């Protein structure tokens, strides 16, 4: 087993709030690994730490053996990132967006043009390459963002909710392209999603986060088996593992509130 992403007791605090609590996970080379969990579970925070956009409060993580703390610049050269929010320029064409990024990645100009052309073809965008991006549909923008994140042939690709807001056909196209990236380029892909069908279809391994903590991890099949019931879906698994911590968080908050009131009452 070849581990390419490893997090060791990774923590992120925002003031007194713990967004990510001692996350330890390993991702194998050329696999698709999904980080799942309710809104606010810490998925985007984990991705921002791994892509060096945020600094860990404690703990560390390694991409291909390189520490995100000690050598963030080297980490950046090995990864691609498609954020939850739009990351392309609407006033430029698809082609111009990609060429700009190729420059940013220091790809020599002759090769850059070739790679941009290849990427547009790979993402089925060649017909719209010279249209300004503000005229693109949501699905086309997502595909352009993936093309952009792949230009420098990263070892690890981070996709934060790659199919949110896309129509069924757009979703299918992005799924196909993700599977193809893994197959053709041996890219390791870490993704987040709220669509359990997507996670089930694409993932080799899944980690469930809840309240910043790792709630469960395994293959989709093993996670379903762990519920010891017939006909279990990944949605059932999601609810099973993330509901408990959500409940305990609530009760913790309730308890804290009660204590505060009690102490005020003296």
Ligand X SMILES: Nc1ncnc2c1ncn2[C@@H]1O[C@H](COP(=O)(O)OP(=O)(O)OP(=O)(O)O)[C@@H](O)[C@H]1O
Return the number of the residue (44 or 203) whose C-beta is nearest ligand X. 44
- φ, ψ at 219 (rounded to 5°): -80, 160
Residue 259, judged by CB atoms within 10 A of its CB (0-12, 13-18, 19+), counts as exposed
Under rule CB under 6 A, residue 41 binds ligand X: yes
Cα(20)–Cα(224) distance, integer angstroms: 25
Stretch that binds ligand X, among 11-19, 72-80, 137-145, 240-248 (CB under 6 A): 11-19
Between vectors from CA 237 to CA 201 and to CA 12, what angle results, nearest 5°?
A: 90
Return the number of the residue (23 or 116) whose C-beta is nearest ligand X. 23
Under rule CB under 6 A, residue 42 binds ligand X: yes
Under rule CB under 5 A, residue 44 binds Mg ion: yes
Interaction partner, residue 37 (Mg ion, ligand X, none; CB < 5-8 Å by kind): ligand X
Residue 53, judged by CB atoms within 10 A of its CB (0-12, 13-18, 19+), counts as middle
Stretch that binds ligand X, among 32-40, 93-101, 129-137, 147-155 (CB under 6 A): 32-40
Cα(82)–Cα(144) distance, integer angstroms: 10
Stretch that binds Mg ion, among 36-44, 71-79, 97-105, 195-203 (CB under 5 A): 36-44
Q: Using CB under 5 A as the criterion, which residues of the chain lie in contact with Mg ion when the complex forms? A: 43-44, 84
Q: Using CB under 6 A as the criterion, which residues of the chain lie in contact with ligand X when the complex forms? A: 14, 17, 19, 37, 39-45, 84
């Amino acid at each position: 087993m070849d581990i390419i992403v490893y997090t060791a007791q990774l923590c992120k605090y925002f003031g007194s709030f713990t967004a990510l609590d001692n996350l330890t996970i390993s991702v194998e080379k050329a696999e698709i690994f999904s980080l799942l969990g309710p809104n606010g579970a810490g998925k985007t925070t984990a991705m921002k730490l791994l892509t060096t956009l945020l600094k860990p409060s404690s703990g560390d993580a390694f991409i291909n053996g390189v520490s995100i703390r000690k050598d963030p610049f080297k980490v950046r050269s090995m990864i691609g990132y498609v954020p939850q929010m739009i990351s392309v320029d609407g006033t430029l064409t698809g082609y111009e967006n990609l060429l700009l990024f190729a420059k940013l990645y220091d790809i020599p100009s002759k090769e850059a043009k070739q790679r941009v052309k290849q990427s547009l073809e790979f993402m089925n965008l060649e017909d719209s390459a010279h249209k300004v991006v503000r005229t693109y549909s949501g699905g086309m923008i997502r595909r352009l963002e993936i093309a952009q994140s792949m230009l420098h042939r990263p070892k690890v690709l981070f996709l934060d909710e790659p199919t949110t807001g896309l129509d069924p056909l757009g979703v299918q196209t992005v799924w196909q392209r993700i599977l193809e990236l893994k197959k053709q380029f041996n890219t390791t892909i870490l993704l987040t999603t709220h669509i359990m069908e997507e996670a089930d279809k694409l993932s080799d391994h899944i980690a469930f986060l809840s309240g910043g903590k790792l709630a469960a991890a395994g293959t989709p099949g093993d996670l379903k088996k762990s519920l010891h019931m017939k006909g279990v879906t990944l949605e059932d698994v999601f609810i099973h593992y993330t509901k408990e911590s959500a409940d305990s968080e609530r009760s913790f908050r309730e308890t804290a509130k009660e204590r505060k009131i009690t102490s005020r009452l003296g």
